[in-house]
Chain A
Amino acid sequence: MSDSHTQKPDLVTQLLPIEFRSISFNKSGNRLINNLSLTINSLGITIILGPNGAGKSILLRLLHGLDKPDFGDILFKDIAANYAIKRKQAMVFQNAVMLRRSVKDNLAFVANLHASKQEPDLLALLDEVGLYDKQHMPARRLSGGEKQRLSLARALVAEPELLLLDEPTASLDPYSVQMIESLLTKLQRRNTKIIFITHDLNQARRLAEDVIFMHKGRLESFQSAEDFFKNPNSKFAEAFIEGKLIF
């Protein structure tokens, strides 16, 4: 981690607790999120688990303000999202979106928006995700794993206090998965709140402090990771852990 990534223990508490109050979300006549309420208050990594189509991505998009709930409120320390709150968040998307620019210029784009980081900081970030040597390469030529590592680095340029990731490691090479996981662990220790979607149970075991389990647009369980894997309080979660629930 570059030295500019200093501790910000007081900052993270400005966004926590994150509270979903009776959230519902409809699209084309389908109820995709159904009356979901939960409060996230841990400083550790929160993992969202669930089978395909459970509504995990939509939940994260609602949290990030990319979609608006039809009913209910999402509150950050009792306040609805405003510009200041949004500026403290960053999201890594499932399909890495690469600007048609060099690797370094993908980071520079964000740095120029918020003028927070200088060139050496950007190079340090690239080094951290193993892309220092590829800084001049067109970003779209990177491999899948490299693209996702660059997405993560780009999300970190603005030093978010809340980092949201939507299956960033799905179908990546083991080296990239390992690098992303260790970077996330490091960030978490520096008090960046991380909420992370995966359907990889082993990854959840490695990283999670608490687990949100969703099924068909509903919150099925929200437990500490230890409880979730030992003693899940939902029969769907139990089936999922046993590998019996795919959809």
Chain B
Amino acid sequence: MQIFSDSFTTAFFLIISGDPDLYEIIFLSIKVSLTSLLGSIIIGLPVGAFLAIHRFKMRSVLLSVLNALMGMPPVVVGLIVYLYLSRSGPLGFLNLLYSPTAMIIAQMLLVTPIIAALSAQIIEDLHIEYKDLFRSLNVSTSKAVVAYIIDARMSLLTVVLAGFGRAISEVGAVSIVGGNIDHLTRVMTTAIALETSKGNLSLALALGIILLTIALGINLLAAHAKNWVMEKQDV
């Protein structure tokens, strides 16, 4: 218990003293995860909307694949990205291995299926409810999709936050493709793993506290936003 409380005190001090190493790691984590989240939304949301609205032969197969991908173990995703980006791999010439970009790619592979599969479900529910009205009003498909996204904004926000949660808390894939290189690819999760194994518990704990705070903060924010919109808009 002594170790724990000592570490806790040091961790707290590290956080409030604005330790540059600590904050470099935090900012890189947030930067990588926000970038991969944005990429995942740009790809996943249109894919989800397309699957929600169109009926075609391979649709159910695609949905099953997406659902399977949602549960892909991050280390496997890391391994696949590693194989592609390693010097002898098909994309080795890009020289991306052990860079933040490689980590973004790995996180996008983890997050895009979540965004696509969950938004497909949400948008499909709305599409079923609205489609006769929209056909009656001669609403074009693109305008319908915009309306679905606006009207489902709260549920979609929850999906986006779930995606961010998966990205920022994931360790397996980013450590394989990022390599946890100090000042280059070290993020909160890989740093926690490393510092813990080195016995440097206070730094690990400081990072752990911040990661937890971010995760809780996001959830609180989501809950608040949801309540507020429910109150105002009943969505």
A residues contacting B by CB (< 8 A) are 64-66, 83, 86-87, 89-91, 93, 97, 99-102, 109-110, 113, 138-141, 158
| Contacts A/B (CB < 8 Å), 6 sampled | A93-B133, A97-B129, A100-B152, A110-B137, A113-B138, A139-B234
Closest to A142 in B: B234
Q: Given the complex of chains A and B, what is the CA–CA distance between A64 and B133 in angstroms?
A: 11
Interface residue? B132 (CB, 8 A): yes
**Which residue of chain B has the shortest Cβ distance to A141 in the bound complex?**
B234
B138 and A97: CB pair below 8 A?
Answer: no
Overall SS of chain A's interface: mixed
B:132-173 near A, CB below 8 Å = 132-133, 135-139, 143, 147, 150-152
B235 touches A100 (CB 8 A): yes
The reply to whether B136 and A90 contact each other, CB–CB distance below 8 Å, is yes
Contact of A93 among B132, B147, B232, B234 (CB under 8 A): B132
| CB < 8 Å neighbour of B234 from A65, A100, A110, A113 | A100
Q: How many residues on chain B are close to A (CB under 8 Å)?
A: 18
B contact residues vs A (CB 8 Å cutoff): 129-130, 132-133, 135-139, 143, 147, 150-152, 232-235
Q: Return B126 CB to nearest CB of chain A, in Å.
A: 8
A99 x B136 contact (CB < 8 A): no
**A140–B138 CA distance with the chains assembled, in angstroms:** 22
Residues of chain A lying within 8 A (CB to CB) of residue B147: 99, 109
Apart from A64-B136, A102-B233, 5 more pairs, CB < 8 Å:
A101-B151, A110-B137, A138-B232, A140-B235, A158-B137
B133 near A101 with CB under 8 A, answer no
Residues in chain A near residue B139, CB distance under 8 A = 113
A201 to B151, CA, bound (A): 38
